[in-house]
Amino acid sequence: MKPSFLQEVEADPDAVARRLMRIAHNRDGLPEIAIGTILLTTAFLIWLQVAYPRGSFAYQASWWGMMLLMMPMIGGSPWAIKWVRRRFLIEKTGYVEFKTVPKGLLIVVTCIAFVVAAAMAWAVHLRALPPSGWLLAGTGIVWGLLAAYAGRLPRYVVGGALMAAVGICLGLSRVSFEIGSLILYGSMGMLSLVSGCVVLLHFVRMPSEETD
């Protein structure tokens, strides 16, 4: 350990613990695989709306998929990651049980998500959405910033910057919101999935001495 790191531990042990946990959490690439799967599923559902006419079974299925599939996928991904780690990777990752999230916080986050979703649905109903260019650029920037902030590792920062850049480019182009979203979520989902798989393969193939 370096002296500066030791000083950091003494000055703010909580921050160091959070950083170490973040590095450990992202070491096997599973979070990126989960994010990539969610983004690609979103892109697939958008593609159904782009490729099939309104009222068709595929078009209806995409709306039902958006409503019924996305929230369980997002909410269930931490459990899926935990299950895979404990089932297949426990010898390399080790065992950890995180503290349960306080119920109050869960309720607040759920309420905020519900209000945002309701506001967006209302805006769509009233056709009061901003121009699609703004929406695409905003989506790319917001998700890019979130990815960089949540991961705070170089590959997350690069991925977040790419997502923001793709969003801005799509926003400046004359592409429709649906096609733009399809390109944004599809490309970022693929990037995240490939990046996660590469990290996971590297992690699995690494001798125990090195992963240790």
Partner 1 sequence: MGSAKIQRLAQIDKVIHEPARLMIVALLSAVAEADFQYLHRSTGLTKGNLSVHLSKLEGAGYIKIEKSFRGKYPLTICRLTKEGKETFDTYRRVIKGAL
Q: Smallest gap, in angstroms, from Cβ of residue 203 to partner 1?
A: 11
CB-CB contact of 137 with 168 (8 Å)? yes
Of 50, 51, 67, 96, the one binding partner 1 (CB under 8 A) is 96
**Residue 106 in the binding site for partner 1 (CB under 8 A):** no
Q: Residue 48: which of 32, 34, 24, 69 has the closest Cα?
A: 69
Amino acid identity of residue 105, one-letter, is L
**Residue 13 in the binding site for partner 1 (CB under 8 A):** yes
**Residue 18 in the binding site for partner 1 (CB under 8 A):** yes
Of 11, 105, 126, 128, the one binding partner 1 (CB under 8 A) is 11
**Residue 209 in the binding site for partner 1 (CB under 8 A):** no
Q: Determine the 3-state secondary structure of 28 from DSSP.
A: coil
- Residues binding partner 1: number (CB under 8 A): 29
**Binding segment (CB under 8 A) for partner 1, from list 52-60, 98-106, 148-156, 184-192:** 98-106
CA distance 74 to 41: 11
Of residues 55 and 100, the one with the C-beta less far from partner 1: 100
Q: Residue 89: which of 157, 33, 154 has the closest Cα?
A: 33
Q: Which helix (H) or strand (E) holds 128?
A: none
Of 75, 76, 78, 94, the one binding partner 1 (CB under 8 A) is 94
**Residue 100 in the binding site for partner 1 (CB under 8 A):** yes
Q: Smallest gap, in angstroms, from Cβ of residue 93 to partner 1?
A: 7
CB atoms within 10 A of CB 35: 25
The CA–CA distances, whole Å, from 202 to 32, 92, 93, 151, 199 equal 14, 12, 13, 19, 5
**Residue 14 in the binding site for partner 1 (CB under 8 A):** yes
Residues that bind partner 1 (CB under 8 A): 1, 6, 9-11, 13-14, 16-18, 20-21, 23-24, 27, 86, 90-100, 211-212
